[in-house]
Amino acid sequence: MGQALYAAQRGNLPFSEPLRDFGAFRVLEIVSDHTTDTYRAVYTVYFSDAIYVLHAFQKKSKKGRRHQKGN
């Protein structure tokens, strides 16, 4: 997760997905799996000089990430 946020800070966004319904604000999400857990970080790069992490958390669902996207 830290490496993905560092890459985003440097302008490289390959680990991020845009979140819908945020209008003109550029809000992105990083999803990371570790063993049987899934972690998420939501951040914005709307500001030109920094990224701001809005929320970071461990997903609590027992179904896992694959069910989240409808796969």
* pLDDT at residue 14 tops 80: no
Q: pTM for this structure?
A: 0.66
Three-class SS state of 61: coil
Those residues with Cβ within 8 angstroms of residue 57's Cβ, 6 or more apart along the chain or in another chain: 39, 40
What's residue 10's pLDDT? 82
What's residue 33's pLDDT? 87
* pLDDT at residue 29 tops 60: yes
Q: To which residue do tokens 């319904």 refer? A: 21
